[in-house]
């Protein structure tokens, strides 16, 4: 995978940026032109927040962050090297309304960590394409 074109809806998401960095660190050059390159397709890169528990004051006590990605890898001729795969990470967060700033920072940190983990898992799966 010397030359790779990454097709993703939001190229500025944490996942896409982290995956780009990891690909380049592992010897791939990311290009915009599709001719003669492998194509890494990422049709789904979604982070959802799901409410788990609500307190007696009708406020959220716990929620789950769920980050899901789907990807596949095609060679320059359009042949499937890695069929579509789905990866998912989730984390449960307890919400403390007395520390809203801390909760927002924890949410952001968990989003970044999940994106990094998913990017690393994606790279591992792509690495199996050659074996």
Gap between the Cα atoms of 85 and 105, Å rounded: 30
pTM here? Answer: 0.87
Specify the pairing of strand 80-94 against strand 38-54: unpaired
Q: Which domain holds residue 104?
A: 3-130
Taking residues 17-25, what's their average pLDDT?
A: 96
- SS3 of 69, please? strand
Domains of the chain: total: 1
pLDDT class of 108 with cuts at 50, 70, 90: very high
- The two tokens of residue 92 are 């449960």
Tokens 């006590």, located at residue: 61
Domain containing residue 96: CATH number: 3.30.160.150
pLDDT tens for each residue of 34-56: 677 899 999 999 999 999 988 88
């Amino acid at each position: 995978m010397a030359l790779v074109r990454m097709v993703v809806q939001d190229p500025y998401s944490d996942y896409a940026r982290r995956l780009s960095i990891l690909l380049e660190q592992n010897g791939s050059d990311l290009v915009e032109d599709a001719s003669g390159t492998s194509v890494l397709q990422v049709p789904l890169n979604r982070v959802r927040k799901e409410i788990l528990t609500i307190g007696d004051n009708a406020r959220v006590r716990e929620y789950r962050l769920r980050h899901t990605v789907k990807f596949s890898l095609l060679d320059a001729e359009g042949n499937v090297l890695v069929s579509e795969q789905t990866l998912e990470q989730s984390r449960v967060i307890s919400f403390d309304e007395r520390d809203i700033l801390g909760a927002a920072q924890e949410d952001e940190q968990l989003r970044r960590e999940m994106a990094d983990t998913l990017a690393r898992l994606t790279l591992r799966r792509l690495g199996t394409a050659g074996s």
